[in-house]
């Protein structure tokens, strides 16, 4: 009877719970042994036995003969997952716990305190018991690392200002026929109309040690080379 289970409760990490469930979605093995779990989940066999196989037996997913139960087949089905969680809660946990905490938003700290009193264990162990119980309460087939029920991503509403700005993009400018240069083959292909203006900035770095004569020579040379440029 569930009421007699006072000193120990199943505890399993969400990553292991949902990780193995995903494996069973692909194919249900003939036996969910420690060896199978270790290979499928990439963990040591001892860890697989203690942290996965043992709690799954306590939760009714795996039989004492290590074979998957009928509940295991329903467990991997998203549509039946909530029903499976409800069955596990009813068959595994005391009625008092179910009466006190029966909604998905149950507080971890409150549930932890209950397990500390009932199972007479320290906070770390009680917290793991509580996390497993709350995971079942949530009845959510999607894995969330923070232990909260995941919500389907909703498309964000577009910002009206940004949308308006997008719609009001200036059209690509088109060349004005009046501003287009007209090339006349008859006069040697010379261009009439718009003519670009050339602007040149010249920076001169003169050493403080330069003599006045040297400075004059520098500017004289610049004038000679730049005289052909027109603004």
pLDDT at position 192? 52
Query: Please, what sign has the CA dihedral across residues 143, 146, 148, 152?
Result: negative
**What is the distance between the alpha carbons of residues 96 and 3, in angstroms, rounded to a whole number?**
9
Q: Which residues pair with 182 in a beta bridge?
A: 192
**What is the distance between the alpha carbons of residues 173 and 179, in angstroms, rounded to a whole number?**
13
Q: Which of 24, 11, 145 is nearest to 78 (CA)?
A: 24
| Residue 122 DSSP one-character state | -
pLDDT at position 153? 41
92 torsion bin: left (phi>0), alpha (psi -120 to 50), beta (else): alpha
pLDDT at position 154? 42
pLDDT at position 58? 97
pLDDT at position 228? 64
For the chain, residues with pLDDT lower than 70 are: 1-7, 144-214, 227-231
Give yes or no for a contact between 42 and 35, defined as CB atoms under 8 angstroms apart: no
pLDDT at position 8? 87
**Using CA atoms in the order 198, 203, 204, 205, what is the torsion angle rounded to 10 degrees?**
-160
Q: What is the pTM of this model?
A: 0.61
Q: Quote the distance between the C-alpha of residue 114 and its chain's center.
A: 33
pLDDT at position 144? 61
Give yes or no for a contact between 129 and 123, defined as CB atoms under 8 angstroms apart: no
pLDDT at position 195? 59
pLDDT at position 196? 63
- The runs of H, that is alpha helices, within the chain are 14-26, 34-41, 45-48, 54-58, 70-75, 81-92, 95-100, 108-119, 123-138, 160-167, 212-226
């Amino acid at each position: 009877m569930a009421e007699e289970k006072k000193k120990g409760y199943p505890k399993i990490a969400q990553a292991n719970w949902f990780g193995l469930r995903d494996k069973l979605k692909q194919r249900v093995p003939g036996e969910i042994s420690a060896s199978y779990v270790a290979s499928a989940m990439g963990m040591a066999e001892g860890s697989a036995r203690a942290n996965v196989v043992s709690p799954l037996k306590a939760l009714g997913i795996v039989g004492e003969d290590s074979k998957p139960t009928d509940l295991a087949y329903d467990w991997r089905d998203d549509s039946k997952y909530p029903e499976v969680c409800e069955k596990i809660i009813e068959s595994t946990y005391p009625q008092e716990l179910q009466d006190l905490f029966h909604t998905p938003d149950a507080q971890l700290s409150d549930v932890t305190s209950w397990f500390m009193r009932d199972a007479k264990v320290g906070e770390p162990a009680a917290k793991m018991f509580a996390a497993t119980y709350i995971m079942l309460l949530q009845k959510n087939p999607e894995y969330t690392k923070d232990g909260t029920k995941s919500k389907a991503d909703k498309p964000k509403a577009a910002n009206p200002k940004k949308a308006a700005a997008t719609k009001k993009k200036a059209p690509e400018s088109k060349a004005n026929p009046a501003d287009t240069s007209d090339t006349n083959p008859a006069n040697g292909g010379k261009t009439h109309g718009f003519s670009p203006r050339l602007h040149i900035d010249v920076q001169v770095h003169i050493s403080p040690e330069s003599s006045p004569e040297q400075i004059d020579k520098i500017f004289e040379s610049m004038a000679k080379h730049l005289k052909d440029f027109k603004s």
